[in-house]
Structure formats: C-alpha cells, structure tokens
Amino acid sequence: MPLTVVYSPAHVRHLPDGEIWVGVRIAGTELPSRGEAILAAVTAAGHVVVAPHAIEDDDLLSVHDSALVSFLQNAYADWESSDYPRDPGQDRVVPYAFPHPDMLVGPRPRNPASVGARTGLFAMDTMTLIGAGTWEAVRAAAACSLTAADLILAGNELAYAAVRPPGHHAGRTFYGGSCYLNNAALASQRLSEATGEKVAVIDIDAHHGNGTQQIFYETSRVLYGSVHIDPGSGYFPHWVGFPEEAGRGDGKGANKNLALAPGTGDADWLAGIQKLVDFSATAAFIVVSLGVDSFRDDPESPLAVSVEGHHAAGKLIKGLGKPTVVVQEGGYDLDHLGELVVAFLDGLENG
Ligand code: SP5
Ligand code: ZN
C-alpha cells in the first residue's frame, strides 16, 4: 500500500517562542525544526510528498465553534493593537484570567473588552502561545489533514498529514497543550460525513487527546481510543484521560482510555494498542493520532517505548486492514523524531 505524505512549509510561520509554564517563560519543545526533521526523514525514506489543497473557513466549523475559529484568526492582530506588546512587553497572545465555571452565575459570559481576558475564555492553559504566523500555520495544518482524508475518499489506502502545530488537545470551543485546531478530528469528521461510515481514532501520542475525546464524546459515529501516560500520575492534561470516561448518550461505550504508569515500555504499550485495535474493529476508516512522544528519551513524557516499538505499533494497526489517515501530533526528541515517524509508517505500510 503506497503512502502519500501531505506537508505544507507554512508550519514554519508558527513560532510560539516558548511557553508560559507555572508563570515562567521556558523554551518550549514544539519547534519548527520538528517539521523539518519529519520532512527530511519521510523524504529520505522515499515517500511521496504532496501539498495540501485549499480549504474554506467553513471546513473548520465541522468540529469547531465559530467563536473559537474567529478568536484564533484575529487574536494576534487584536493583541498587537492592545498595550500588551509595550506594557508589560508581551509579544505573544497569552491569557491572564480564566472564567472558572462556578464564577459564571449570569446567563452567559460577557465577551471581555481586554484581549488578555478574552483569551482566557478559549485557552485551557498558558503554554500555548499565539504569534504573528500562528494562524497561517494552524490553517495549513488543518488543510493538510483534510487533504489526507480526501486522498482516502479518492481511493488511497494510506495518507499521512505531517503537520505542526499538533491538534489533539484542542476541543470544539477551546485550545491548549500546543494545539489550536484539532487536525485528527477534522479528518475523522470529513470521512464520517462523506461516507456515513464509522470512523475510529487511535491516539498513540503519549498524552491523552482530551480535545478529540470531547469533540466526539456524545457520538457513536467516531470512536475514540487512546493509550497514554496516566494523567493521575501528574501529567498533562491532568483533568481527563481516565478509564472511566467511556462516552455519553449516543456515544456511550464509544470512548476508551488506557492510562499507563511512568516507565511503561514496549510490551504494555503495545498490549494497549492491540486493545485499541480490537476496539476499532467495527470502523470502516481509521485515523491515527501519531504522537511519538512515548519514546523513552522524549522530554515531555516518562513512557519508555523504543523505535522498534513504534514499528510494531504501525504493524498492529495495519492488521485492521482499513483505509487509514495518520495525523502527526507530538514527539519532541529531535534526535529521534524522524526515525520514530518513519518506523511507525513502515510498520503500517509494510507490516
Ligand atoms: C501534542 C502534545 O504532545 N502536547 C503536549 C502538551 C504537554 N505539555 C505539558 C508541558 C508541561 C511542561 N513541560 C515542561 C517540561 C520541562 N522539562
Ligand atoms: Zn503528546
């Protein structure tokens, strides 16, 4: 099964320039060099790379609220025309106040005049900064993911959206965790709407994809399964990603979370992926949220999976024999990022 890579160089326009972590600006790990490393590796591996097709803003509204989309689109310009870049001297969009749900006793939250407060309505953390080129890159990543889904609809068996920024932490109305729009959810919804068939998301990023879970929590049309570092052991996204979250209403039973202890290696990780493969057996299409931050040396997660483990993961998912869209999520060890992605794709394509 030949595999097509969809890539846009526009990702380099997204320069978060660090993240605000516990109030301190740190370097951050979601860097343009991640995209370059992946492109170099898939090119060296001989994969065909294509550009995304154009998309409309309406395409984004299939999984996101229009208020989030227009906030993200305008946030940097709004920030630039505020005082913040000069006083106190913050050049990236970052929230400073959040509407705690219990605070909102009125019929609906007012839209704050201050962009620093308005950002708090949409952001789930302070680590996901918006700069001048962020929207252009975010939109290009969405276009790559929708193009990958459209390649499957056109009869391809495998397509890989090699994107940044990642997407699986972004929900219908919120962004965070280095994610702005949910690329995997956009691809899943496209496949679901176009065919009426069931889609299964298999999320192997080291972190729970709380955004994808939220978007599809009440539907049985898109299954969501994830294997990830146990949020209860102190890891992002902290509040969700627990096994008891199994879906609601029509989506009851259509969500599966497998939480792993720090230090978990290949055997237990792959056993989890096999469970997700079994959970996905009734779907006609598979969307893989491919984070490779479960790797043992990754700076953002304490899981301890090998390169060979990533190859084996691809092979397990190939066992489903279903048309598959792969969407890049996290993975921050620049010395191994390309190798990990290529190992997974080789397992998926060739077994
Ligand atoms: C897509 C994805 O993998 N998002 C990961 C978001 C998790 N970010 C949590 C960051 C916590 C602070 N990291 C500081 C690391 C210092 N060693
Ligand atoms: Zn991750």
Ligand 2 centre to CA of 288 (Å) is 13
User: Does the annotation mark 64 as catalytic?
Assistant: no
pLDDT at 177: 98
Residues with CB under 5 A from ligand 2 (ion): 205-207, 291, 293, 330
Q: Which two tokens stand for residue 284?
A: 């006609």
User: What's 44's DSSP letter?
Assistant: H
Pairing of strands 324-328, 285-290: parallel
- pLDDT, one tens digit for every residue, the chain (351 residues): 689 999 999 999 999 999 999 999 999 999 999 999 999 999 999 999 999 999 999 999 999 999 999 999 999 999 999 999 999 999 999 999 999 989 999 888 788 999 999 999 999 999 999 999 999 999 999 999 999 999 999 999 999 999 999 999 999 999 999 999 999 999 999 999 999 999 999 999 999 999 999 999 999 999 999 999 999 999 999 999 999 999 999 999 999 999 999 999 999 999 999 999 999 999 999 999 999 999 999 999 999 999 999 999 999 999 999 999 999 999 999 999 999 999 999 999 999
pLDDT at 1: 62
Ligand 1 centre to CA of 185 (Å) is 21
* DSSP-based three-state secondary structure for 181: coil
Q: Residue 177, class by beta-carbon neighbours within 10 Å (0-12 exposed, 13-18 middle, 19+ buried)?
A: buried
Q: What whole-number distance in Å separates Cα of residue 143 and Cα of residue 137?
A: 10
Pairing of strands 24-26, 19-21: antiparallel
Collect all residues with Cβ–Cβ distance below 8 Å to 243 and sequence separation of at least 6: 257, 258, 259
**Do residues 295 and 130 lie in contact, with contact meaning Cβ atoms separated by under 8 Å?**
no
Ligand 1 centre to CA of 53 (Å) is 31
pLDDT at 111: 85
Pocket of ligand 1 (CB under 6 A): 21, 127, 166, 169, 177-179, 205, 207, 236, 291, 293, 299-300, 329-330
Which ligand sits nearest to residue 238's alpha carbon? 1
